[in-house]
Amino acid sequence: MTSLAGKVAFVAGASRGIGATVAKALAAQGAAVAVAARSEQPGTLPGTIFSVADDITAVGGRALPVPCDVTDEDSVESAVAAVVSEFGGIDVLVANAGVLWLGPIESTPLKRWRLCLDVNVTGVFLVTRAVIPHVRARGGGSLIAVTTTGVTMTDQGSNAYWVSKAAAERLYLGLAADLRADNIAVNCLSPSRVVLTEGWQAAGAGMQIPPEMVEPPEAMARAAVLLATQDAHGITGTIQRSEELIG
């Protein structure tokens, strides 16, 4: 696996779950990592930006905890500016921040629908828009949006989460064409199976997942590292499934 030494990665939604695992994996490959999320204090779910950053620095990595609400334009811009000031630029984005709502459409409260769209679509848009000039200034890099296989599971019905992730995939597939001339790889990455993160277990609507359908978060981390090493001359404009990508 290619080293990420000298690279800077901005991981949104990095205080727990997939984001935290990806942040640690990128740091282990040599990247300086911005651990970005809203979680500054311990809450209902475990993990904060500071605990993840501490885990990285404890084993010799470089990390910067950055408060960031991806739905707030000023918060995103401030977070990106802080990272550029500390590390000198940004080469890799992992847009992982997300909220889960799997209830049927007819019983979905409007506030839940809006929250999924605000975080899972507008949040991806805001953080991506903010980092593009900095990745371009480095001569290329990699943008990764974390999505879900639920986008294709239309036979299983519809919910706000899958709809929002489908929109994020369309955003990134089109963006790959826009940024190809800037040598920026743009890809989507989803688990091949289900990663039982803290967020899933808190908001998974009580779904029982058979053991054979559970994927370790490390598979997503390995896949994210592989995509992080890409530019527009490599893998770009694709929707990748973690376990398929890493073989």
Structure confidence at residue 209 (pLDDT): 74
In this structure, is residue 3 part of a structural domain? no
In this structure, is residue 1 part of a structural domain? no
CA 139 – CA 224 distance, rounded (Å)? 20
Mean pLDDT value of segment 223-236:
98
The arrangement of strands across the sheet holding 141-146 comes to 62-67, 32-37, 8-12, 92-95, 141-146, 184-190, 238-241
Q: Please, which pLDDT band fits residue 3 given cuts at 50, 70 and 90?
A: confident
Structure confidence at residue 199 (pLDDT): 64
- Interval 60-107: pLDDT, tens: 999 999 999 999 999 999 999 999 999 999 999 999 999 999 999 999
What is the residue range of 240's domain?
A: 8-246
Whether residue 1 is predicted with pLDDT greater than 60 in this model: the reply is no
Let me know: does 90 contact 135? Beta carbons within 8 Å: yes
Give the mean pLDDT of the chain: 93
In this structure, is residue 209 part of a structural domain? yes
- Interval 110-167: pLDDT, tens: 999 999 999 999 999 999 999 999 999 999 999 999 999 999 999 999 999 999 999 9
Q: Which pTM was predicted? A: 0.94
In this structure, is residue 210 part of a structural domain? yes
- Tell me which amino acid residue 77 is: E
In this structure, is residue 51 part of a structural domain? yes
DSSP string over the chain: ----TT-EEEEES-SSHHHHHHHHHHHHTT-EEEEEES--S--SSS--HHHHHHHHHHTT-EEEEEE--TT-HHHHHHHHHHHHHHHS---EEEE-------S-GGG--HHHHHHHHIIIIIHHHHHHHHHHHHHHHTT-EEEEEE--GGGG-GGG---HHHHHHHHHHHHHHHHHHHHGGGTEEEEEEE-SSB---HHHHHHSTTPPPPGGGB--HHHHHHHHHHHHT--TTSS-SEEEEHHHHH-
Structure confidence at residue 193 (pLDDT): 79
Residue of 87, 101, 161, 172 with catalytic role:
161
Number of domains in the chain: 1
Whether residue 200 is predicted with pLDDT greater than 70 in this model: the reply is no
CA 33 – CA 22 distance, rounded (Å)? 10
In this structure, is residue 153 part of a structural domain? yes
Q: Is position 172 annotated as part of the catalytic site?
A: no
Let me know: does 87 contact 135? Beta carbons within 8 Å: no
The dihedrals phi and psi of 4, each to the nearest 5 degrees, come to -105, 20
In this structure, is residue 2 part of a structural domain? no
- Interval 29-64: pLDDT, tens: 999 999 999 999 888 888 999 999 999 999 999 999
CATH code of the domain in which 204 resides: 3.40.50.720
In this structure, is residue 215 part of a structural domain? yes
Mean pLDDT value of segment 186-215:
75
Q: Please, which pLDDT band fits residue 198 given cuts at 50, 70 and 90?
A: low
